[in-house]
Amino acid sequence: MKPLILTLLLGLALPAFADRMPPPANTPASYKAECSSCHMAFQPALLTANDWRKTMNGLKDHFGTDATVDMPKQQEITSFLERNAGDISKLGSAGEPPRITQTARFIRKHREIPVKYWKDPRIKSAANCEACHRGAAEGNYSERDILIPELR
């Protein structure tokens, strides 16, 4: 009985920090429609609920763009992100305005990548996950699916 419960608990906890982070099955269509035109639809587990709330409250000036959505979608997307958000103890602070790429977890996972790659014309920005992770949109961050040959 005990080992079974442990296995179940581990199974539930694992996706939060493994290299597989599939988008939640209950992802509303509005999230994809409104949040994946300029960059990929980031998995909710990549930021804390508090940082998603800040992001969603600041869409009017979103990294130099206007990414506002209508009120029903604003509420739907915010509550989806909050419900599926990551844990502060694993992610760490995301800075102001919140950036996935500023979390301690992101920095730790990428610390072996030479600085020049973040500005490489093939990549342009650390937030451009799909430039390096072929399966990022499906939540696949496995080492085996890195597109840049020198980084494999």
User: Under the criterion CB under 6 A, does residue 101 sit at the interface with ligand HEC?
Assistant: yes
Contact between residue 146 and residue 133 where contact means Cβ atoms under 8 Å apart: yes
* Percent composition of the chain: helix, strand, coil (DSSP 3-state, to 5): 55, 5, 40
**Count of residues near ligand HEC by CB under 6 A:** 39
User: Under the criterion CB under 6 A, does residue 100 sit at the interface with ligand HEC?
Assistant: yes
Phi-psi region of 124 (alpha: psi -120 to 50; beta: other; left: phi over 0): left
Phi-psi region of 87 (alpha: psi -120 to 50; beta: other; left: phi over 0): beta
Out of 46, 49, 85, 91, which residue is the one contacting ligand HEC (CB under 6 A)? 46
User: Under the criterion CB under 6 A, does residue 143 sit at the interface with ligand HEC?
Assistant: yes
Cβ at position 123, least distance to ligand HEC in Å: 5
User: Under the criterion CB under 6 A, does residue 34 sit at the interface with ligand HEC?
Assistant: yes
Out of 8, 9, 38, 107, which residue is the one contacting ligand HEC (CB under 6 A)? 38
Out of 55, 80, 86, 135, which residue is the one contacting ligand HEC (CB under 6 A)? 55
Contact between residue 70 and residue 77 where contact means Cβ atoms under 8 Å apart: no
Q: Is the peptide bond before 15 cis (omega within 30 degrees of 0)?
A: no
Contact between residue 30 and residue 69 where contact means Cβ atoms under 8 Å apart: yes
User: Under the criterion CB under 6 A, does residue 127 sit at the interface with ligand HEC?
Assistant: yes
Q: Which residues of this protein are in contact with ligand HEC, per CB under 6 A?
A: 19, 34-35, 37-39, 42, 46-47, 55, 59, 62-63, 65, 67, 69, 77, 99-101, 109-110, 112-113, 117, 123, 125-129, 131-133, 141, 143, 146, 148, 151
